[in-house]
Amino acid sequence: MRIPLGVREHAGTAALLAVLTAVACLLLAGLPRTMQGAFDEALRETLTTAPAVQADLTVTGEPATPDGDLHERAQLESHDPRWRELLPAALRPLVRPAGHVSAKTFRTPVTETSDPLHYLNLGWLSDADRRVDWVQGLAPGKSSTMLHQGTTIPVIEVGVVDEAVRMMGLRIGQTKVIGESAQVAVKIVGVFTAKDPGDRSWSHDADILHVTWVVPMTAPEEFHTTTLMSDDGLSVLDSRKYHLTYRWVLPLDGQAANALAAPDVDAAVAELQRQLAVQGTSTINYRLVTGLPRLLGDFGIALSAVRTIVYLVLGGLLAVALGVIALGVRLLTDRMRHTLTLARARGGSLWQVAGAGAALTVLAVWPAALAGYALSYLVPGPVLPIVHLGPAVVAVAAVVFAVTRVVLAHRTPLHEHRDDVVAVRPSARRVTVEALVVVLAPVGAYLLRARGTAGSAQQDPFLLLIPVALALAAALITLRCYPYPLRLLVRLAARGRGAVPFLGLTRAARARSASALPVLILLPALSVSVFAAVIHDGIATTQQMASWQKVGAPIKLTSVGDIPADAIERVRRAPGVEQVALAYTGRVQLGDTGERPYAVAVDLAQWRQVAGDAPIDLPTLSGSGSALLSPGLGGRGTFEMRWLSPVTLTAQGVIDSVPGFYSSGQFLLVPREVLPWPAANTLLIKGDAAPAELARLVPSATVETQQQALAAIRADPLTGTVSSTLLVVTVALGAYALAAIVLSLVIGAPDRVRAVSLLRTLGLSDRQARRLTVLELLPMVLVTALVGLGLGLVLPGALGPGVDMASYAGGLPVGDYSPGLLTPLALAGGLAVCAVLGAYAHTAVGRRRNLGAVLRVGDLL
């Protein structure tokens, strides 16, 4: 056979098959790259936005004997290359070259202080000159000595942060004696501030930049600050006198991370911990302090959920695309049937005929697969194995299907078969396999709900197989069962006077074998696309709820101190403000127990007016002396609360959260009537006022809006990936389902045109011909659409505990998949309408054909 001549003869069919293949390969190779790029971006954002003390690798050294003390800068800095040599290969690209070293004491008390207790810790930073500005006095210099209680003790020049000057009453020129058994004096010579308070490296040294205020339950309150000293002060540090710790910070470069290497990084951190434990000696112990494994673990849990959803819908897309391409190959081989039959009858071997069909399919499919594969490289993102595997599977599967179909059709020369047989009895093997799939699919779904996922951060193959098995089981049941109700309709139509309903429904009932492949394509396409739409709507709805839970009102204005009454009035009169509810928050003490939870005093009636129809449940308090307590405070009756003034309250019940205020920890909600005066430090505002204008009216306040909170939730890279991928797959599956309907029309066109032409010779009108074609096609499309719609709506609930989408919905669990049915019904109804329109168009095209060209001699006999 001349293969180029065959390509030219069937150019239209080959072009259609090429388009279907190119689009499938582009989606299957491009979407994984986009997703992996989003995964990498999300991990980098996680590592770069987390506090540096969590993401960085910090090696701590604690001297066990004085021989382990390090008294010079060079000694401390010489350890940094040593730690970098120990880094495993997976960590070396992630660690930046610029780190810093620190030496600090902790819980070093000031001698002879009473209530409150003051602690002045000694601190040294290797890069202090780069990170602080001396705003008062001088930078610390060399140490000296002084006489204290008849003993000569060292005097170390230090600087303190400006916050310590305000909170602890420290000033330049003061000399404080610190320590317990062995004492040393510190002389305050300067006051410093951070050059860049937002520098992430300050999270390692927050004790230097800020004063820590501690309120023990049964002891006086404490103030802790860490001073800064010069290199000369290192010589005074003695592990026998102080609690002394050295820290070498190896900063992490979050931008160099990628999600694929995250498991290797986690294992490398564990290896580094083991190596550091070995490096310890009898004089000093080393250990690794980092929150990187926890960050990677939390990211892995979030990534597992999105991978499950995304790869599930991609698997559905692959199955549907292969099915539609198989329909195209079937159309191509059907068009070649007479040519291949003639070649077989003239002595061509089976493999020659099969090779001709395979060659023609290769020419139609493989260049298109390569084109789609090449176009996927225009999509940003790393190249994964699936990028190569997806197009290869499509190209090979198309050729294998073509060869199989040609071999089965031309096993023997002039192999004839009946196309109008009502039903063919399936083999026992096929019935057994189908029954096994139908039984195991719901059993697997039940087991999935019962046990959940196999691992929090690992992909669960069971979770990926169950939805596919459910779709296949539903398709098999539909394929086997839908002719039976049609036969009942045929019996009813037979009693009527019109021949068109009887003939149309009869042909639909007899078309089971011809419509098997379209059913197996349409049902997964609809179910997966509806599933994607339901998941998308469920996430969007929960995101809305999470944003309201975070803010509690359209606009929330929070001040560090009480908001003056005139400022509240200015806010009420601001443009765009409709209503304002007042609230007061603060820490309280419950009786003599020492418990200090947070309290919220708010007018709930005003708050409900502000919230309107927002998706948050506001609690109800029965009286002015009642309170709602968090679970950690529940289980008490009447109690005393000490706040602005003591008040006796009665616990009304337990509340899990106060929207806009607290969702964890210890807290309670009380009415505003418990306040001795109408104080307010929080305003809940209804309206569309400009946040910048409200911040100008109350300079000490911060302004949050529900829309800003929602935008922040949706701005997460993983969240955007889930939404965009679900949208693309939904559109692609809808397009493939439409293509399946069109191809099924074209494949059945010869038999349908011949039947309609025959009936036209018996007086069938054009209108009746259109009705006949619609009645033949519509039952299969409607039944498949309804089953696919139902399965798509059930799948999210069937997956149940296997998919945790809380990470993409502001932390709230996405458990209520009850979206509006507009999108699912539009998908199902759109396909049905397209089927009807296709049937009308097909009838209009067939009407123009000459009956003599359709009906051959013998067709009327």
The H or E element that residue 628 is part of is: strand 626-629
**242-283 pLDDT, tens digit each:** 788 999 999 999 889 888 888 889 899 999 999 888 887 878
Model pLDDT, residue 468: 72
Return the structure tokens found at 307: 């991978």
Q: What is the mean pLDDT of residues 841-851?
A: 58
Residue type, 551: V
CA–CA separation, 370 and 298 (whole Å): 38
Q: Which residue is it, tokens 């979030």?
A: 302
DSSP 724-737: HHHHHHHHHHHHHH
- The closest alpha carbon to 295, from 39, 640, 79, 51, belongs to 51
CA–CA separation, 131 and 148 (whole Å): 34
Model pLDDT, residue 858: 44
Share of the chain above pLDDT 90, in %: 14
Return the structure tokens found at 813: 């669990």
Report the b/e string of 594-625 with b at 16+ CB within 10 A.
Answer: eeebbbbbbbbebbeebbeebebebeebeeeb
The H or E element that residue 160 is part of is: strand 151-161
**305-350 pLDDT, tens digit each:** 777 777 777 777 888 888 888 888 888 888 777 777 777 777 777 7
Cα dihedral 129, 130, 131, 132 sign? positive
Is the CB of residue 855 less than 8 Å from the CB of residue 758? yes
Left if phi > 0, otherwise alpha if psi is -120 to 50, otherwise beta: which for 579?
beta
Model pLDDT, residue 861: 38
Share of the chain above pLDDT 70, in %: 83
Q: What is the mean pLDDT of residues 750-769?
A: 70
**592-604 pLDDT, tens digit each:** 676 788 899 998 8
Please provide residue 420's backbone torsions phi and psi, each rounded to the nearest 5 degrees: -110, 20
Cα dihedral 542, 545, 551, 556 sign? positive
Q: What is the mean pLDDT of residues 46-68?
A: 89
Q: How many CA atoms lie within 13 A of 387 on its CB side?
A: 20
Residue type, 788: G
Contacts for 837-841: CB closer than 8 Å, 24+ residues apart? 838/741, 838/742, 838/745, 838/777, 839/745, 839/770, 839/773, 839/774, 839/776, 839/777, 839/778, 840/770, 840/773, 840/774
Residue 636 or residue 230, greater confidence: 230
| pLDDT higher than 80, residue 753 | no
The two most distant CA atoms of the chain are separated, in Å, by 132
The count of residues in the chain is 861
Is the CB of residue 728 less than 8 Å from the CB of residue 26? no
Model pLDDT, residue 289: 92
As to burial, measured by CB atoms within 10 angstroms (0-12 exposed, 13-18 middle, 19+ buried), residue 638 is exposed
Report the Cα 392 to chain-centroid distance in Å.
29
Mean pLDDT taken over the chain: 80
Model pLDDT, residue 425: 65
Residue 663 or residue 8, greater confidence: 663
| pLDDT higher than 80, residue 835 | no
Residue type, 608: R
Return the structure tokens found at 290: 């980092």
Pick from 97-111, 418-432, 623-637: least confident = 418-432
CA–CA separation, 785 and 773 (whole Å): 18
Is the CB of residue 144 less than 8 Å from the CB of residue 156? no
| Strands of the sheet with 123-125, listed across from one edge | 123-125, 100-105, 244-250, 57-63, 284-289
Given pLDDT bands bounded at 50, 70 and 90, which one contains residue 413? low
Question: What residues have CB less than 8 Å from 520, skipping those under 6 apart?
Answer: 323, 472, 475, 479
| pLDDT higher than 60, residue 819 | no
- The closest alpha carbon to 557, from 375, 695, 413, belongs to 695
Angle subtended by helix axes 516-551 and 766-799, to nearest 10: 50
CA–CA separation, 702 and 689 (whole Å): 14
Helix, strand and coil content of the chain, in percent to the nearest 5, comes to 55, 15, 25
As to burial, measured by CB atoms within 10 angstroms (0-12 exposed, 13-18 middle, 19+ buried), residue 414 is exposed
Model pLDDT, residue 60: 93
Given pLDDT bands bounded at 50, 70 and 90, which one contains residue 857? very low
Model pLDDT, residue 822: 66
CA–CA separation, 647 and 636 (whole Å): 15
CA–CA separation, 443 and 800 (whole Å): 14
Question: What residues have CB less than 8 Å from 812, skipping those under 6 apart?
Answer: 542, 545, 546, 549, 806
Is the CB of residue 30 less than 8 Å from the CB of residue 380? no
**DSSP structural state of residue 252:** B
CA distances from 757 to 397, 418, 775 (A): 37, 19, 17
CA–CA separation, 138 and 192 (whole Å): 9
The H or E element that residue 369 is part of is: helix 350-375
Q: What is the pTM of this model?
A: 0.74
**DSSP structural state of residue 562:** P
Model pLDDT, residue 828: 67
Given pLDDT bands bounded at 50, 70 and 90, which one contains residue 238? confident
Residue type, 830: G
Model pLDDT, residue 531: 77
CA–CA separation, 347 and 352 (whole Å): 10
Q: Which residue is it, tokens 């003695």?
A: 238
Name the β-bridge partners of 705: 555
Name the β-bridge partners of 704: 556
DSSP 826-859: HHHHHHHHHHHHHHHHHHHHHHTS-HHHHPPTTT
**DSSP structural state of residue 677:** S
**161-204 pLDDT, tens digit each:** 998 998 888 899 999 888 877 688 899 999 999 999 888 889 99
Q: What is the mean pLDDT of residues 205-212?
A: 90
Is the CB of residue 325 less than 8 Å from the CB of residue 17? yes
CA–CA separation, 222 and 101 (whole Å): 27
Is the CB of residue 456 less than 8 Å from the CB of residue 303? no
**448-458 pLDDT, tens digit each:** 666 655 444 44
